[in-house]
Amino acid sequence: MSHQASPTVIGGFVLGALVLVVAAIIIFGSGALLKERVAMVTYFPGSVQGLSVGAQVQFQGVQVGQVTAIGLDYVVEDASFRIPVSYDIWPDAIGVIGEEAADIDPQGFAKRLVVERGLRARLEPVSLVTGQYMVSLGMGTRSLPRYVGGPQRGIEIPAIESTRDRLGDMLQTLPLDDLVSGAAGTLAALRSLLDSGGIQALIAHLDQTVGQIGRLAEDLDSQVGPLAGRLDGTLGRYAALGERLTARVDGLADGLETTAADLGRLSRHLDAQVEPLAARAGNALRQADKTLATVQGALATGSDLRYGLTQFLAEAAAAARSLRNLADYLERHPEALVKGKR
């Protein structure tokens, strides 16, 4: 006879299972359900391949949230598609320092960062091997924010084109047909050059050049020995010359020292004689000044000496004229020395 299960026991098992599920979610979800969250959305241009729900949201390499949803919207007005990526930012993951930290509104602060500091979102690879991507937030963009303005899913953070999308655009604009045709032409030219025999001739000429270089190296090796011997002899002569110069320089240095000593003694002797000579020279100059003053007083205008000198010079001049006249007369009449003047 079977016993009917007690509803109380069944209810206890169900309640315990629910508690375990909630605890597992809290533990394995790193407590994300208990964190304060700020909902944000970004409309990324291009592909979001590699981005999945639960991917990290990082700000300059620090995780500050995670992706919660990836959607696909069709805009009827312009017949285009756009991809909204929703993610939560955890304010508790960002420390705020300052006296007014408690008064900061996370949503208003995020909007100000977009307008004033250029906050933008970009897709960045987590691993090139696995191809996984994450949402990377950064500031410093100077361009004006471009809002899509879709359904209200949270604060819209403008997007920046990812490196993968820019590389794809560059590849699309490359003239691949021209590049392929140019490469094919280059290969054809190389093939024709190889078939023409010019490469073989160049290789043969290169072999000859290498042989000539080898013979030149051998000649140089044969000349190195004699050249080294002559170089050793020259160095020996230079060494001997250096020794002789050193000996002469030593003797010259001794002579210079003796000369310097003699000059020192002469200088000291002159210093001892300068003061007496200067005194005697001063006395001679003062005596000369007195003599000049006496001469100037004797030769002054109206003095007896000057008058006497003037009379003497006048008489001397008259006597000189008389002698000149006598000499002229005797030159014309030399017989006057015997007969006398008539």
The percentage of the chain sitting over the pLDDT mark of 90, rounded to a whole number, equals 12
pLDDT tens figures, 266-280: 878 777 777 777 788
Judge whether 153 lies within some domain: yes
- Please report whether residue 155 resides in a domain: yes
**For the whole prediction, is pTM greater than 0.75?**
no
Q: Is 107 exposed, middle or buried (0-12, 13-18, 19+ CB in 10 A)?
A: middle
| Residue reference for tokens 């002559």 | 230
List pLDDT tens digits, range 256-267: 888 888 888 887
Task: Determine, yes or no, domain membership for 25.
Answer: no
Q: Same domain, yes or no, for 154 and 113? A: yes
Query: Mind listing the pLDDT tens digit for each residue in 228-245?
Result: 778 888 888 888 888 888
At 62 the pLDDT is 92
Ramachandran assignment for 279, one of left (phi > 0), alpha (psi -120 to 50 degrees), beta (any other) = alpha
How high does pLDDT run on average in the chain?
80
Domain tally, the chain: 3
Structure confidence by residue, pLDDT tens digits, 184-203: 888 888 877 777 777 777 88
pLDDT digits (tens, 9 = 90+) for 104-157: 777 788 888 888 888 899 999 988 888 899 999 988 777 777 777 767 778 888
CA–CA distances in Å: residue 303 to residues 155, 254, 290, 294, 298: 128, 69, 18, 12, 6
Mean pLDDT across 71-82 = 88
**Residues 144 and 226 grouped into a single domain:** no
4 domain-assigned: no
Picking from 111, 146, 166, the residue at the C-terminal end of a domain is 166
Is 174 within a domain? no
Same domain assignment for residues 310 and 263: no
- Would the CA dihedral through 287, 293, 296, 297 be positive or negative? negative
64/61 Cα distance (integer angstroms): 9
Residue 23 is assigned to a structural domain of this protein: no
Distance from C-alpha of 231 to C-alpha of 238, rounded to nearest angstrom = 10
262 and 303 inside one domain: no
Alpha-carbon distance values, 1 to 4, 5, 8, 9 (Å): 10, 13, 21, 20
> 39 or 304, which is more confident?
39
Residues 81, 75: contact at Cβ < 8 Å? yes
Mean pLDDT over residues 298-310, rounded?
Answer: 72
Please report whether residue 15 resides in a domain: no
225 and 317 part of one domain: no
Q: What is residue 23's predicted lDDT score, i.e. its pLDDT?
A: 66
Residues 119 and 216 in one domain: no
Residues 269 and 303 both lie in one domain = no
205 located within any domain: no
pLDDT at 1 over 50: no
Which pLDDT score, from 0 to 100, does residue 163 have? 79
Judge if 226 and 309 occupy the same domain. no
Return the top range by mean pLDDT from 67-71, 175-179, 218-222, 302-306.
67-71
Tell me which of 18-32, 157-171, 226-240 is least confident: 18-32
CA-to-CA distance for 62 and 201, rounded, in angstroms? 65
Range list of H helices, the chain: 7-28, 106-116, 163-173, 176-195, 198-298, 304-332, 336-339
Minimal CA–CA distance to 143: which of 170, 120, 162, 122? 120
Binned at pLDDT 50, 70 and 90, residue 55 comes out as very high
Q: pLDDT at position 329, please? A: 77
Whether residue 314 sits in one domain with residue 261? no
What the block records as the tokens of 219 is: 């000649």
User: Residue 81: which of 72, 93, 90, 89 has the closest Cα?
Assistant: 72
Residue that terminates a domain, selected from 166, 195, 221: 166
pLDDT tens digits, one per residue of 282-295: 888 888 888 877 77
Q: Does residue 75 share a domain with residue 41?
A: yes
Tell me: do 254 and 331 sit in the same domain: no
Q: Is the pLDDT of residue 85 over 70?
A: yes
Q: What range does the domain containing 143 cover?
A: 31-96+103-166
101 band by pLDDT with thresholds 50, 70 and 90: low
**Apex 125 CA angle, 93 and 140, nearest 5:** 60
Confidence label for 42 from pLDDT (cuts 50, 70 and 90): very high
d(CA 139, CA 116): 10
Same domain, 44 and 162: yes
